[in-house]
Amino acid sequence: MTVSDEVLEKLRPKVSLKVSYEVGFFCPDIDDLVQETLTRFLVAVQKETVRNTESLGPFLNGICRNVILEYWRRSTREAPMPETVPEPPAKGIPDAGLLELRQAIAEGMSQLSSRDRQILTAFYLEEKTKDEILNMTGMSDENFRVVLCRAKERFRSIYQQQAKHRGGSRHLVV
């Protein structure tokens, strides 16, 4: 089977529209993609690799889709590496405020019972797992959850009392 020049000229605008729609109408490579699609189509027809000669449209559409996908892969691979964006400045507490916060936490922790202090320190400061804390204290899972919750509440109330006396400028979320 051969494809005439008239058939190619009828197919070219359709392929061009499909390529333009897929890659964008302002893409500078539209003509190259259309030409590559039609070239592959003609080679397939000449080598008689088309299974169903009655449905050349879907076959051409598949070739066009493959050419576009190869184009996208190639263009993303060849894209220049993005510039290294500098890290934004840290939105943290200034050093003086951090010192005040640490002192307030230490003072609040000193007012807790030894068990509450041990649980909060192990869980939040030392970042031990629940299982490690259970082995260390000999508590059950249910007991640990209750003790942790109550210790957090006690610390929160102590810290909020301290904040009222200091003027309430710092708030710690526990």
The reported pLDDT for the residue numbered 79 is: 63
The reported pLDDT for the residue numbered 81 is: 64
The reported pLDDT for the residue numbered 100 is: 82
Q: Which pLDDT tens digit goes with each residue over 141-154?
A: 899 999 999 999 99
Report how far apart the first and last C-alpha atoms of the chain are (Å, whole number): 78
The reported pLDDT for the residue numbered 3 is: 76
Q: Which pLDDT tens digit goes with each residue over 5-39?
A: 888 888 899 999 999 999 888 888 999 999 999 99
**Mean pLDDT per 10-residue segment, the chain (174 residues):** 79 92 89 93 88 84 93 79 70 76 85 90 89 90 91 90 70 53
Integer Cα distance of 73 and 76 in angstroms: 5
Integer Cα distance of 92 and 161 in angstroms: 24
Look at residues 105, 118, 72 and name the one whose alpha carbon lies nearest to residue 172: 105
Specify the CATH architecture of the domain 95-166: Orthogonal Bundle (1.10)
Q: What is the CATH number of domain 5-77?
A: 1.10.1740
Answer positive or negative: Cα dihedral of 124, 129, 131, 135.
Answer: negative
The reported pLDDT for the residue numbered 154 is: 92
Domain ranges of the chain: 5-77, 95-166
The reported pLDDT for the residue numbered 161 is: 86
